[in-house]
Amino acid sequence: MREVRLALLEADVNYGVVKDFVARVRERSVGQEVSKALNPGQQVVKIVNEELINTLGPAERLNLSGAHPHIIMLIGLQGSGKTTAAGKLGRILRSQGERVLLVACDPYRPAAVRQLETLGERLNIPVAYEPGLAPPELAKQALEKAQKGGFTVLILDTAGRSQLDDALMEELRAIQSRVSPAEVLLVVDAMIGQEAVNIAKGFRDVIPLTGLVLTKMDGDARGGAAISIRSVTGVPIKYLATGEALDAIEAYDPDRLAGRILGMGDILGLIEKAESAYDEKTAREQAEKLMTGEFTLQDFADQLRQIRKMGSFGQLLEMLPGGMDKWRAR
């Protein structure tokens, strides 16, 4: 139990949540009949994994039911990655056949509007913005434009602050009352640690949250903030952002996140990365060249480029069970 407690605290899980979690695991473990296929230590690891998955909750998808357009409102503190997340969500929804309109509701941060417009240009998704118009009015105007233009999804990139304040909350309330979003997603930086709980509670007390987007999961954070927020607020996790690239986002899966938090790796994620980066036909041709002695430096360079598409070496090691720990030990 001491090792479990340390593993969770190292993953930045809130201390109170860790205490309750360890108590539940201990209660289940004491008196539990040991499986014939496992030794007692392995049985405890199995219980820990099951409890962690239960704590993280089931995977939930975006609510896109009802009349068009479906409105998705992104909220969060400054620097959490809302604008990039808006572009990533736009890309995913467009690939699912939706007609997406991005709305730049952050006129305060320097270059915030230009950043969203640049993302829109790269993705070929239109961006709505009107200089001098207050964010609540802009959101309402964008809704009317979406209704007339046949758009099916409206994504609002709202303003953030360096900390929670009354002005920010009042603006978010005003936007919500004008457009009644189907989804209000809180974007949280996974590197922020245990403070994530206070941030989530602060936003939840002002505006009803329907989901969570955890960003910067490609850093040193294992995602313990996800357990803390889910346990304390009950807000379901919808997406995990794993990098700056527009395709570096994945739908939330409790099994895979539990494995990452416990240092057990994410083999399914590694396979998905390999499938997206590698071209099977090219790989087969290169293997044949290698067998016949026709493999060149150009072929080797092509292989390295494909590997780089999968992300950094450290990120790939983290997806292997105990991979990063073994690398650091060396």
Q: What contacts 114, CB < 8 A, 6 or more positions away?
A: none
Q: Do you find a cis peptide bond into 69, omega within 30 degrees of 0? A: yes
Q: What contacts 57, CB < 8 A, 6 or more positions away?
A: 230, 236, 237, 254
Tell me the pLDDT tens digit for each residue of 14-43.
788 888 888 888 888 887 666 555 567 767
Judge contact between 15 and 4, C-beta under 8 A.
no
Q: What contacts 17, CB < 8 A, 6 or more positions away?
A: 8, 55, 227, 228, 231, 232
Exposed (0-12), middle (13-18) or buried (19+): which is 280, by Cβ within 10 Å? exposed
Query: Domain ranges in the chain?
Result: 2-56, 70-261, 267-329
Spatial distance between the Cα atoms of 187 and 241, rounded to a whole number of angstroms: 10
Could you report how far apart the first and last alpha carbons of the chain are, in Å?
A: 27
Tell me the pLDDT tens digit for each residue of 200-256.
888 888 888 888 888 887 665 566 777 788 887 888 888 888 878 888 888 888 877
100: tokens are 């997406």
DSSP H helical ranges for 189-296: 195-204, 224-233, 254-261, 267-277, 280-292
Please state, rounded to an integer, the average pLDDT across all residues of the chain: 80
Structure confidence at residue 223 (pLDDT): 66
DSSP letter string, 57-87:
---------SSSPEEEEEE--TTS-HHHHHH
CATH, range 70-261: 3.40.50.300
Structurally, what CATH architecture does the domain formed by 2-56 represent?
Up-down Bundle (1.20)
Q: What contacts 115, CB < 8 A, 6 or more positions away?
A: 83
The phi and psi torsions of 313 (rounded to 5 degrees) equal: -60, -40
Confidence of residue 327 (pLDDT cuts 50, 70, 90): very low
Q: Say yes or no to pLDDT of 259 above 60.
A: yes
